[in-house]
Amino acid sequence: KGFAIRREIEQAIEALPDAMQVCVLRYRFLACMTAGQTARELGLTVGHTNRIQAAALDALTVPGVQG
């Protein structure tokens, strides 16, 4: 069941229209990187990374989850 949930999350992330949002969420939640690690990997500041993450989470739609 855990693998099925992870796959749904991956699909929801990949469905985001903004490539940078996809990258940030992949690093943060699938690769379990910190905001600092993600920022360094993408050449961004931590603040910018956090803003991208917040916008991505607002745009994220996971099937079966209402909110």
pLDDT of residue 62: 67
Helices (H), the chain: 2-14, 19-25, 35-42, 46-59
Q: What is the DSSP letter of 18?
A: -
How confident is the model over 22-32, as pLDDT tens digits? Answer: 999 999 999 99
pLDDT of residue 26: 97
pLDDT of residue 5: 86
Instruction: Take residue 14 and report the two structure tokens written for it.
Output: 């990949």
pLDDT of residue 2: 79
User: In degrees, to the nearest 5, what angle opens at C-alpha 20 toward C-alphas 41 and 63?
Assistant: 120
How confident is the model over 11-67, as pLDDT tens digits? Answer: 999 999 999 999 999 999 999 999 999 999 999 999 999 999 999 999 998 666 655
Rounded Cα distance, 13 and 33, in Å = 16
